[in-house]
Structure 1
């Protein structure tokens, strides 16, 4: 537990290092102007600064709650995708059989059909995760220097391999051509699944009741896909996000002008008993101001990157890892060997993608 907290602290310090240096430099500049050059007019009463800070704390707290709610909802949706995918694999293996057909096929042909249905589902997972990784105009985390730095070192599969290449192993060439011609490729794959099920019913390889059960699973997959797309395509309301963004920066600019004079007053009070400490006490305002500024800025930034939980940031939902985990699970249940099944995507600094 201690190691995990220590690693998180180091990660946060690295993530915000440039902003921390800016806060230290701003506070030091105000101290130099106020204390060394005696620009005592650089004095903002503490009361309005505190009132602004209180309002900012409420706004940022609201934004963090909303952003965490979006992340948690996305995690529940993809947890549902995990469970429904396992259900799909189980029902495909048990419900595709020769029991109700007048023209039975070989066991090898049955395995081939089951494999096509499972592989097409894996293709659906690939298409869905690629769709969730597409950039939207309101996704701005990549504008930050340290976020761009993270994306350069992190292995995000959807930014490395195009969707068409990911589909080669799971679909026939005609199916790939059909899917790539559609705007919503995940939806196109579910339509192909339903069409294939109908063909199997006509051949008697799936009983009518089993067909309804499998169609219900596809319906649930449509529901989960729609919920995931809702989070992706509907941004956190801009009026709230912009309000927090600008208010935090106004507060951070005013903060040194309120804190520095207050520390000067404290230094004057202790001057008689501790002259040396009192004379230089004002310099303690630099780390204090930087610490307060860091807390407000970091909380606002955590909320900002948490608004869109599919961008590939360290705290996002690891949809690539989840999809590959489902694939490994399904292919193991079909009896494939470890050599045939791909490895899990690598982590970056213990962060799953």
Structure 2
């Protein structure tokens, strides 16, 4: 546990190393002007800087709370998909029977109908997670260098939807939904049509049909909630202004911090001239720490704005969907070696 914690801190440092180097350049430029060019007049009092810092901390805190709220809501939606999917799988196995059929129906045929409906549900989850991974204009986290260099990409960005759908639905159904803009909705329509045909054949009792349709209705609700988070971004004026306010604070911070250390150095010079003369350079670590904290908190807020984008901090919908698939297929009685394995973690990250 201790080793993993240290490794996470190291990852955080590597994740922000380019910004940290930029902070180092900024503070060295300010100190060099103060020390070599005698620009001691270039300073501002602490009061306005404290007011700006307080405002920046407030808006960053607001952004982080809002981003966390979006992540938590997305997580609850997909937990709902987990529970509803398990319920749907159970209902299919117990509600599709030959009890009310007018003619004899082979048991293998019933099992095949259950399998088709179960596999089509897996196809629905597959289409939904691909739709959630579609890149939107306001999603920019994965374009950043430190996110790309580790190869932290979700499975949906390494495969194609058509290839992942092929094992679960027939070619005719695949051709049909390929022409639809919202493929996950088209799949739920196919589920409803299939259930109606089974009811007409007597394989599903009318009350059971209504129960199964109610489950499909719940899946539509969860799908709509997930699409709402995906298609309605965190308000851009909040996100953009937060970013600019943070950089304004970081750029003017040396105007108050460097002169303060210079004054402390002048006091030290009365007893130790050498240390007092160069004490202003001690500003570097303190400035980098303060700037790093503000920038990292703002960046964490940005990474949580879009919980389905596919970054390391998003809801692991691929892992959740694969877990549901494993549960459903195991309960169909399929052998372990025929069921796909869970997606592996990358750098302690699930997708």
TM normalised by structure 1 equals 0.97
Match of 1:41 in 2: 41
CA distance in 2, matches of 1:156, 1:69: 22
Q: CA offset at residue 154 of structure 1?
A: 2.4
Match of 1:117 in 2: 117
Q: CA offset at residue 258 of structure 1?
A: 1.5
**Structure 1 moving runs of 4+ over 6 Å:** none
TM-superposition CA deviations, 1:29-53 (whole Å, max 9, x none): 1111101221223222222112111
Q: CA offset at residue 2 of structure 1?
A: 2.6
CA distance in 1, matches of 2:315, 2:277: 51
Match of 1:12 in 2: 12
Matches within 5 A, 1:254-293: 254-293=252-291
Unmatched runs of 5 consecutive residues or more in structure 2: none
Contact 1:127 1:163 in 2 (8 A): yes
Match of 1:226 in 2: 224
CA distance in 1, matches of 2:104, 2:163: 35
TM-superposition CA deviations, 1:170-195 (whole Å, max 9, x none): 00011001111111110000000000
Match of 1:24 in 2: 24
CA distance in 2, matches of 1:111, 1:142: 43
TM-superposition CA deviations, 1:262-297 (whole Å, max 9, x none): 111111122223333222211111110011000000
CA-atom RMSD in angstroms: 1.1
Contact 2:74 2:226 in 1 (8 A): yes
Matches within 5 A, 1:136-151: 136-150=136-150
CA distance in 1, matches of 2:97, 2:338: 25
CA distance in 2, matches of 1:66, 1:313: 17
TM-superposition CA deviations, 1:123-161 (whole Å, max 9, x none): 0000000000001111121332212324xx124211111
CA distance in 1, matches of 2:157, 2:339: 22
TM-superposition CA deviations, 1:44-102 (whole Å, max 9, x none): 22221121111000000000000000001001110111111100111001111111111
Q: Which one is further off, 304-313 or 154-163?
A: 154-163
CA distance in 2, matches of 1:159, 1:143: 13
Unmatched runs of 5 consecutive residues or more in structure 1: none
Give the one of 312, 319, 322 matched to 1:321: 319
Match of 1:295 in 2: 293
Contact 1:124 1:189 in 2 (8 A): yes
Contact 2:142 2:311 in 1 (8 A): no
Contact 1:132 1:310 in 2 (8 A): yes
SS of the equivalent of 2:338 reads coil
Q: CA offset at residue 4 of structure 1?
A: 3.3
CA distance in 2, matches of 1:17, 1:107: 62
SS of the equivalent of 1:182 reads coil
CA distance in 2, matches of 1:60, 1:310: 21
Match of 2:59 in 1: 59
Matches within 5 A, 1:144-159: 144-150=144-150, 153-159=151-157
Match of 1:169 in 2: 167
Q: Does 1:246 align with 2:244?
A: yes
Give the one of 189, 202, 205 matched to 1:204: 202
Q: CA offset at residue 213 of structure 1?
A: 0.6
Contact 1:43 1:261 in 2 (8 A): yes
TM normalised by structure 2 equals 0.98
Give the one of 177, 185, 188 matched to 1:187: 185
Q: Which one is further off, 43-52 or 180-189?
A: 43-52
Match of 1:86 in 2: 86
